[in-house]
Amino acid sequence: MDAELVSIASDIAVGVSALIVAGVAFFGVRRWRKELTGKAKFDVARNVMLLGYRLQAYFEGARNPFTYSVEYTGRSRQENEPSNVSQVLDEWYARGSRLKPLIEDLQKLREVGWEAKIILGEDADKCVSEAIEVFNERYPELSSAIYSYFEERHRGVTSSGANIDHAWLKELHKIIYSRTGDDFTKRIEEATAQLASALKAYVK
């Protein structure tokens, strides 16, 4: 009888031990999954915020009113190119070059935005999507303004008697060259601030 009781007690102990091990393993797996999910959210949120801040800086740089000689040293020049033509083409080249990092990081932000849609919550995804939409709208607006503005100016210095639409050039000028507190700048700043506000909870 004693041997039977010992056997039963042993079986119970083994069963209880198995339950404890299973419980520890279950909660361990849950904690591990939670930590992995938290890290994934952290990484995505950090990448989105970093790209947002970089895009804001690139937009500011692209719209900086000043250009520097180093920015157009790589431009191919025609023989006996008139100085007024060189001036237009140099700045056109410089401002076109400033768009390259913008389009590269904008594509990266779109891709990370897809990750955010999958991993982050609905509210964060909405804010990220809205901010990306602002960046997506501003880039072609700036790119198109640069092309149209300098194409028109180039026509003005190479075609005698060219009919220049100065009112249109003035509007394009407002897009290309930044001014403190202008609408273009405010839209970019608001989009970046929206990203930071929506994602700061994930990067603490």
How far apart (Å, rounded) are the C-alpha atoms in residues 164 and 179? 24
The answer to the question of residue 29 being in a domain is: no
The 10s digit of each residue's pLDDT in 37-85 is 568 788 888 888 899 999 999 999 999 999 999 999 989 988 889 999 9
The answer to the question of residue 18 being in a domain is: no
Query: What are the phi and psi torsion angles at 75 (to 5°)?
Result: -75, 135
Number of domains in the chain: 1
The answer to the question of residue 33 being in a domain is: no
Structural domain for 166, as ranges: 44-202
How far apart (Å, rounded) are the C-alpha atoms in residues 137 and 127? 16
The 10s digit of each residue's pLDDT in 86-109 is 999 999 999 999 999 999 999 999
The answer to the question of residue 74 being in a domain is: yes
46-64 in b/e burial notation, b at 16+ Cβ within 10 A? Answer: ebbbbbbebbbebbeebbe
The answer to the question of residue 136 being in a domain is: yes
Give residue 5's pLDDT: 54
- The span from the first CA to the last CA of the chain, in angstroms, equals 62
The answer to the question of residue 70 being in a domain is: yes
The answer to the question of residue 120 being in a domain is: yes
* CATH number of the domain where residue 138 is located: 1.20.120
Model's pTM, two decimal places? 0.79
The answer to the question of residue 77 being in a domain is: yes
How far apart (Å, rounded) are the C-alpha atoms in residues 197 and 51? 15
